[in-house]
Chain A
């Protein structure tokens, strides 16, 4: 079971890296973090979070720190949403994804401004919309691939 889990996560991160190469500016690894949170295994959440942060910071061109806020606030939104809805509720998924899109825009705008980098407004808006649309599709697909583990966790 453990080996299967390791293989699953390895495949996930490889595909996420390749996916991010094809979709510039969009974070696909956040779906892995959401799935890890759905499964409620603290150790798994921690190492998935650390891997996501290191990979994003390594691929990025900003000073270290933006990923901390990005994933920290994603987790915060997830747990707040979970306190209101069930994790398989469609409103919960839509709420989290809409929040992620807005968060992507706000955080990247603030962080690039703090580091004196001007980011084209239109490009950032498009990436945020992309994040908002792609995450729920991937989330549902990966959730099914994981064999409905989260269903039992709830």
Chain B
């Protein structure tokens, strides 16, 4: 191969690449084709593998690993009694809340549908640069790009790419992941974003005077429309004074066990509310306005 031919080959390849890249950025055709073929084929291989592994694991756990079951049962029974007590107290609070909502004419909160999914793979291949997992639900099961993904503990991420029956979930720990949150007790609004693999989450835009302490829980505020309101997200781990800007430097730890989760829930918006963010309550609007005035 002469240098002239090499140069010609590289030039042609570069033009083909730029053409394909630009065309795909505009139309998404190639990404859709990769989702429909590559992602689906990967799902087809991983699902049976995952099934076999979980069956073997199940046999082990059900029949062989019976040590300490009695002690565990006793501990669980005690925990169950505690939880039952808590549930009955919360039921009372809920009734009171419903009465107050009615009294103040608050709009009824819409329930998002939940669809269970199994994690069948984690970050795969050289092009999986984002922290991600693969799940066994796709467009056919309502897992559209942007669909919130949670565990029983809290927010885990959102669907990034979806094939027909498999999809890729971008995890909460990615720097590109952002969700509007509010602190549970003091109702301080903020934006939470990932800090990268192994790094704490970053909580941004909290005014310097805001009352926020480590240990407080952050829940979704619902104002961005991407997540329903009130889903637990993270626990504040550190609050430091601002360094050269008007906002506090706050970090948090995710509640969901991102590295170990095996099952997740997809939250699907109620059909008649598509594209409409949840409206904050009048009280929250007043609090948000007060916070903003305070920041000024």
Taking Cβ atoms with an 8 Å cutoff, the residues of A that contact B are 13-14, 17-18, 20-21, 24-27, 54-70, 72, 76, 79-80, 83, 104, 108, 111-112, 116-120, 123, 127, 131
Contact = CB atoms under 8 A, between A and B. Distances in A.
B230 interface: no
Interface of A is mostly: helix
B261 interface: no
A18 B126 contact: no
Interface in B102-156: 121-130, 132, 134
A133 to B, nearest CB: 15
A58 B126 contact: no
Contacts of A61: 127-130, 132, 160-161, 168, 170
Contacts of A119: 129
A59 B167 CA distance: 9
B122 A24 contact: yes
B34 A64 contact: yes
16 contacts: A17-B42, A20-B124, A20-B125, A21-B49, A21-B122, A24-B123, A24-B128, A54-B34, A55-B125, A57-B30, A61-B128, A64-B30, A72-B13, A108-B127, A112-B129, A120-B196
Nearest to A66: B127
B125 A18 contact: no
Nearest to A54: B38
A154 to B, nearest CB: 17
A21 B124 contact: yes
A61 to B, nearest CB: 4
Contact of A116 (B31, B46, B126, B176): B176
B179 interface: no
A56 B125 contact: yes
Nearest to A64: B30
Contacts of B30: 57, 64-65
Contact of A27 (B21, B46, B126, B175): B126
B10 A24 contact: no
B281 interface: no
Nearest to A60: B127
A58 B25 contact: no
Contact of B20 (A62, A64, A108): A64
A57 B41 CA distance: 12
Interface of B: 1, 6, 9-10, 13, 16-17, 20-21, 24-25, 30-31, 33-35, 37-42, 45-46, 49, 121-130, 132, 134, 160-161, 163, 168, 170, 175-176, 196-197
Contacts of A27: 125-126
B121 A65 contact: no
Residue among B34, B125, B170, B196 having the largest count of chain A Cβ atoms under 10 Å: B125
Nearest to B25: A63
Contacts of A79: 1
B197 A25 contact: no
A18 B263 CA distance: 20
Nearest to B38: A58
A14 B124 contact: no
A27 B128 CA distance: 10
Nearest to B37: A54
B272 to A, nearest CB: 32
A18 B16 CA distance: 31
Contacts of A70: 126-127
A68 B163 CA distance: 21
A111 B127 CA distance: 9
Contacts of B6: 80
B176 A64 contact: no
B197 A67 contact: no
Given A54-B41, A58-B35, 4 more contacts: A14-B45, A18-B49, A25-B126, A63-B21
